[in-house]
């Protein structure tokens, strides 16, 4: 049987594989055709805890999309779920009325946008109550590279979100979402997954971590233990670059905000990452970077 609360001492089951946090490359071409299929699936979200998530393409977060300024995206949304769902891409500007409308199970719609501005943009289900649809797994990130973004040796994407557990293998509990009582706060959909299976990097090599805070409710204060951020980009602007004398210890992200940080781990070792809102770190918003 499966638990409906998080046991911080439990270990993931044998065969557990953490979500690959590697940032996808910018695909070739200037038109990106993507199919997003809404699927309601039972998934483990913490050791021994299963929930019936509402997802884009079977995972929560949904896939990370990426492109350049000027790229066109043509997204086909297919509702293979049992209730209405829809979609909202922050990465493009358009009248919401038609593309963000909820569609019935079995229906599809095509959502076209051109990405004219850089940043890491949230996408999420657009069906009311959005608190429930985001809170039960329907969110993801679109990265539009700033011009002349330098290549780095290691580049990851982490999406922070909250979990409000319902009964075993059932959807998340809307009442808990309304009461702001999260059972867990997680990166990429699973409590502490990168503590079990760390991200990797190499001493002396630059690491970029893209962050999106999907919420639905809480802020993030992202921090890497042992590291300093000599580069910070958030909500469409550079805030710090390596040639400046200061650095940052925290990237503060409101719900639906995003950005990236960069650091160069100075030596091999294990560098934990957390939101420094410690109650959320203890709830599962923590992981590890294993530096060789």
Residues that bind Na ion (CB under 5 A): 88, 219, 225, 252, 254
> Residue 262, interface with Zn ion (CB under 5 A)?
no
**Bridge partners for 21 per DSSP:** none
134 interacts with, out of Na ion, a copy of itself, Cu ion, none, CB within 5 to 8 A per kind: a copy of itself
Residue among 80 and 100 whose Cβ is closer to a copy of itself:
100
Contact positions with a copy of itself (CB under 8 A) in 259-288: 263, 265-272, 276-279, 281-282
Residue 291 CB, shortest distance to Na ion, in Å, is 15
Question: What are the structure tokens assigned to 38, written together?
Answer: 């809404």
Closest listed residue to residue 104, CA positions, set 120, 81, 87:
81
Residue of 49, 64, 65, 125 interacting with Zn ion (CB under 5 A): 125
Question: What are the structure tokens assigned to 81, written together?
Answer: 């779920």
How many chain residues are in contact with a copy of itself, going by CB under 8 A? 76
**What is the distance of C-alpha 93 from the center of its chain?**
21
Q: Are 64 and 211 in contact (CB under 8 A)?
A: no
Residue of 168, 202, 252, 282 interacting with Zn ion (CB under 5 A): 202
Residue among 42 and 94 whose Cβ is closer to a copy of itself:
94
Residue among 264 and 274 whose Cβ is closer to Cu ion:
274
Span interacting with a copy of itself, options 13-21, 26-34, 94-102, 186-194, rule CB under 8 A: 94-102
Contact positions with Cu ion (CB under 5 A) in 55-94: 85
Rounded CA separation 113/93 (Å): 7
> Residue 136, interface with Zn ion (CB under 5 A)?
no
**Bridge partners for 215 per DSSP:** 161
Element containing residue 21 per DSSP (H, E): none
> Residue 84, interface with Zn ion (CB under 5 A)?
yes
Q: What is the DSSP letter of 99?
A: T
202 interacts with, out of Cu ion, Na ion, a copy of itself, none, CB within 5 to 8 A per kind: none
Residue 200 CB, shortest distance to a copy of itself, in Å, is 14
Contact positions with Cu ion (CB under 5 A) in 108-147: 125, 127, 133, 138
* Furthest C-alpha separation in the chain: 56
The rounded radius of gyration (Å) of the Cα atoms in the chain is 18
Residue 140 CB, shortest distance to Cu ion, in Å, is 12
Q: Spell out, one character per residue from 144 to 173, where the chain touches a copy of itself: x when CB under 8 A holds, - when not.
A: --xx--------------------------
DSSP of 133-201, one letter per residue? HHHTT-EEEEEEEPTTPPP-SEEEEEEEEEE---STTS---HHHHHHT--SEEEETTBTTHHHHS-EEE
Closest listed residue to residue 257, CA positions, set 286, 289, 227, 218:
218
Using the structure block, give the residue that is written with the tokens 């999406």: 159
Burial class (CB in 10 A: 0-12, 13-18, 19+), 29: exposed
Contact positions with a copy of itself (CB under 8 A) in 37-76: 69
Rounded CA separation 104/224 (Å): 42
Residues that bind Cu ion (CB under 5 A): 85, 125, 127, 133, 138
């Amino acid at each position: 049987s499966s638990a409906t609360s998080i046991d911080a001492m439990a270990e993931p089951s044998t065969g557990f594989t953490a979500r690959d946090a590697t940032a996808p490359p910018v695909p070739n071409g200037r038109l990106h055709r993507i199919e997003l299929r809404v699927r309601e699936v039972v998934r483990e979200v913490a050791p021994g805890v299963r929930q019936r998530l509402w997802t884009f393409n079977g995972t929560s977060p949904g896939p990370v999309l990426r492109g350049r300024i000027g790229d066109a995206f043509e997204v086909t949304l297919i509702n293979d779920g049992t209730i209405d769902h829809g979609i909202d891409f922050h990465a493009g500007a358009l009248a919401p009325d038609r593309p963000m409308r909820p569609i019935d199970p079995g229906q599809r719609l095509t959502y076209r946008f051109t990405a004219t501005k850089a940043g890491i943009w949230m996408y999420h289900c657009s069906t009311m109550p959005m608190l429930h649809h985001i809170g039960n797994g329907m969110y993801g990130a679109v990265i539009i590279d700033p011009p002349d973004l330098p290549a780095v040796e290691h580049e990851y994407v982490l999406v922070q979100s909250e979990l409000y557990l319902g009964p075993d293998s059932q959807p998340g509990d809307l009442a808990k979402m309304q009461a702001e009582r999260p059972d867990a706060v997680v990166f990429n959909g699973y409590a502490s997954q990168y503590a079990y299976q760390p991200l990797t990097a190499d001493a002396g090599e630059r690491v970029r971590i893209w962050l999106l805070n999907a919420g639905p409710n809480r802020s993030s204060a992202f921090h890497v233990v042992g590291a300093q951020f000599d580069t910070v980009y958030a909500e469409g602007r550079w805030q710090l670059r390596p040639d400046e004398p200061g650095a940052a210890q925290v990237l503060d992200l409101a719900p639906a905000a995003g950005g990236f940080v960069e650091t160069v781990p100075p030596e091999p070792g294990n560098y934990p990452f957390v939101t420094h809102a410690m109650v959320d770190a203890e709830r599962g918003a923590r992981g590890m970077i294993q530096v060789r």
